[in-house]
Structure 1
Amino acid sequence: MLLVLTVGLIFGVMAGIWAGPLETAENESAQTPTSTAGDQATGEISASWNESTEPSASAIEQLAPREDDSQPYPLVGGHQPTDPDGDGLYEDVNGDGAFNTVDANALSRHLGTTAAGANWSAYDYTGDKRTDGEDVQWLLAATRSTPSNDTDGDGLPDAYERNVTDTDPDIADSDGDGVIDGTEDWDNDTLPAYREYRLDTDPRSNDTDGDRLSDGIESRLPSVDPTDPDTDGDGVQDGAADPDNDSLSTYNETVAGTLSTNPDTDGDGLLDGTEVHQLGTDPLTADTDSDGLPDGEEVRLETDPLVADSNDNGVIDGQESYTTTATNETLGVTLSLTGNGDIGNETTIAPQDEPRFNTSRVTYMSASPVVELTSERDFSSANVTLAYNETGVQNESQDLAVFTYDPEMGIFVPLNSTVDAANNTVTAKTTHFSTFAVYDLTNWAATYNATEPARQTHGGGVQPNTVNHNAVSPKHPRQSL
């Protein structure tokens, strides 16, 4: 009679069946289990299943639906297991269309679930009228090429067991702990013994080459050899190297949990080393203090990335209003933007290259490059300052203004503008971005038969609020810029 175990005991039993997740070969696609049908219906869990230990009908009713009643319930996510060879056994446990060690791993992880028990016969590869750890072992052996001279079929050659692991080549589970020798992880480096055999690493030492990186970590890093302390021969051990130039050694990256192949693991604009050594922020969390501003943005704004309300005024930093800038010296554009966060850093200033903005009329009217302004964020307002060419301008303070393109009218219209003749710039305020340029008011009015806006009489600039847009009447406004 088979012993039925409760949930509290299954983990100990499963540890005996399987040491942990299997490593996959380089040409095998790994699929990480997410939610499973077995997770969705618990009830009593068993270390093995047969006709007398099937889960209750009420537990089965809670399982995810199947594509049809002839197929087993999904064990991994919503992926239906498949029967690649049509023998009635579902070797493709995770339903990814491939039959490999990932399937053995999937079965070992979910062997005790209701989903597995509801269709136990689909996984009875050994034909002993039950599904248990032996079927996991069978699946592992079937999906990997067995080394020559492996008497007990545990994935380790006999000579390797005698000379390296000191296990019994005639018994698959030498120590009788329920874990076959090839899947033991004696040194706790996350590599099962059969992987250590193939990598030529020491299954009894978690750092074969002594470079401060475990064999498991090195096996998953690109261009690093777990049997060579200085893989690239540059005189720096692999653990002390900094391949991504973020001021964190590979060893320290493993301690911090960051990526040794990405200098900014959390994508907040700060190097991992800067976060760990200088700021004390979390290199794995873009917004350490959860105030709505990424850590890198707080550094640029000079707020505290460790305190949600840096100025202690009752408003978290992410909801405060800031004034930031953006410039393009080549185009002669400077922006001063007001809004939440560092808007200036997410603003683009670019030449407007569309043919309709590069006509003889535009050239005749403009005293500056025509530019396109865009922002990835909303903003309250922006002061747009454009440099102009004073050649041919008679009265700079009275004749020039910042114009923006009005897509509905199909022409440029003037904005309230202030001329700084000493620095050859014109500034205007806007609440949205579009295409901008400095135009000569007289030339603009003549081009479009428009009424010129009233000039200020007490200083440089124009007040275009008095512009009569109805008086603007080009024959084909959208084509006559």
Structure 2
Amino acid sequence: MKTINKFAMLAVLSISLFSCSKDDTDDSTSDNDRDGLTNSMELKLGTNPNVADTDGDGILDGTEDFNKNGIIDAGETNPLLKDTDGDRVKDGTEDFNRNGILDEGETDPLNMDSDGDGINDGDEDSDNDGLTNSTESDSDTSPYDNDTDHDGINDGDEDSDHDGVTNSEEQHNGTNSGDTDSDDDGINDGDEDSDGDGFPDGDGNNDNDDNDGE
């Protein structure tokens, strides 16, 4: 009889905990992840009520759904997509202060070619540091500041993922400056030999871009 009572108590406790959890998620006034959207609005929108930045673009879900109505309206970035306009630059990189407003000096996360010059925003180098905006997005540096961390080193000369290859070299090699193993082959980008000169990309002698042996 005691055993049955224990199981009965556990069952009741489990149901109670589940109910509390469900109520927390369904509660129209609760905001579990404190992103500015109520749980019910997140469920309507399709975002995760327990993750403040569902798509990982650097902007809070509640900032992307600017009027907080649970609908992706015109003029709002998509909290389910890192790159709403498809220009290969994360929304949170384009809206660098992440306030949900297009400010002076920022590219438009809703327009692939913000300045209308025929060049995709991802291919531009807005701060003239030798890195395209898409490369800066990968390395989490600012495309509007050529020395994002103000350490006296140009962003192009930084090594954001610490793989032994500078960001500008990664751009030249076609590797990801935010990923130590861009092609997921188990070999660190700095140990690859992308130009076939016999030296790993992370080696200072890796300068035979044209494979002429010189």
TM-score by length of structure 1 reads: 0.23
**Higher RCO, Cα 8 Å, sep 6+:** 2
Of structures 1 and 2, the larger Rg is shown by: 1
Higher strand proportion: 1
